[in-house]
Amino acid sequence: MQKNKIRTAAITGVGMYAPEKILDNKYFESILDTSDEWIITRTGIKERRLMENGATSDMGTKAVEDLLKTTNTKPEEIDVIIVPTVTPDMFFPSTACLIQDNIGAKNAWGFDISAACSGFLFGLQTGAAFIESGQYKKIVVVGVDKMSSIIDYTNRNNCILFGDAAAAVLLEPSEDISFGIQDALLHIDGAGRESLYMKGGGSLNPPTHETVDKEMHYLYQDGKAVFKEAVKGMADISVEIMEKNNLKSEDIAYLVPHQANLRIIDATRRRMGIDTDKVMINIDKYGNTTSATIPLCLTEYYRDGKLKKGDNLIIAAFGAGFTWGSIHLVWSMD
């Protein structure tokens, strides 16, 4: 942690939204050459959610409304709305603008962040910097993705992995700097661009009949390459932030990992030297919801009474770009 900080950014509220529609592994058995056992063994996923009617902003709005209700926060109190997502409703206006209008946060400004599965970490650190500057007091970070909108459901390697959901946190200043976000290590490496991408729709390949016919508007993933890099990236960065902050395995209350694959999560846990009961897991229920996975974990574990004030959390993610990082957070809510 920087010794010259006079305040830190602490999470003072959480909220979430998961669509009602559930796609379990039996569903994929009925449409693809796969099995429940195969999916669970390789990914840890049993079911995921599908947003049938609505867009990314609709899910994000519901998550923020949940957050506002449970924290008794008025929309006009919000200063900034940060929305990590790779499935915005449209290129512009931003999803942050749409959520701001939906909830009536008339005094807020905001923006979207595109960092794929690391998006929530990037958004959290950005929000923390705004809080630490002293200029803002209430910042909402909303991790949300409608992955079903960019997934080819005939591709059995990808479609089983992803789900739709949204989750949000409220960041506020803490004068006690022993709480809140203590440190962050974030990275990007564009050399990984060919392993995980969606090439259609942007200025490089604007939408045409040809881009649609070539299925360029679906997510593409080189599974083996991404798996290899994610295992190394998440494990290395998690251990690095522990060492930098003089944290031993026994000091950690929870690893809060991006929920992409149970085997990646387990490899990170082993490198950190912590037991399985110190790892937040909900991939079995939601699959990979990209920017929403980490705040979903935080929300569920807090509401289940599993988080207590003063808990050391190591948050870690790896995503397309490549992007990756880790944050050391001390939980501040009772």
Q: Annotated catalytic residue: which of 25, 258, 261, 328?
A: 258
Please state, in angstroms and rounded to a whole number, the distance separating the CA atoms of residues 232 and 128. Answer: 26
* 31 residue type, one letter: I
Cα–Cα–Cα angle for 88, 91, 93, rounded to 5 degrees: 90
Distance of CA 234 to the CA centre of its chain: 14
* 252 residue type, one letter: I
* 160 residue type, one letter: I
| Three-class DSSP category at 309 | coil
Q: Annotated catalytic residue: which of 25, 158, 261, 288?
A: 288
Token pair listed for 136: 């803002």
Q: Is 97 a catalytic residue?
A: no
Q: Among all chains, which residue has been given the structure tokens 């209700």?
A: 69
β-strand 80-84 against 139-146: which pairing, if any?
parallel
Cα–Cα–Cα angle for 261, 299, 176, rounded to 5 degrees: 115
Q: Are 140 and 111 in contact (CB under 8 A)?
A: no
Q: Are 19 and 178 in contact (CB under 8 A)?
A: no
* 138 residue type, one letter: K
Please state, in angstroms and rounded to a whole number, the distance separating the CA atoms of residues 316 and 245. Answer: 15
Q: Is 209 a catalytic residue?
A: no
Distance of CA 319 to the CA centre of its chain: 10
Q: Annotated catalytic residue: which of 25, 97, 117, 158?
A: 117
Look at residues 60, 158, 52, 44 and name the one whose alpha carbon lies nearest to residue 101: 60
Residues designated catalytic: 117, 258, 288
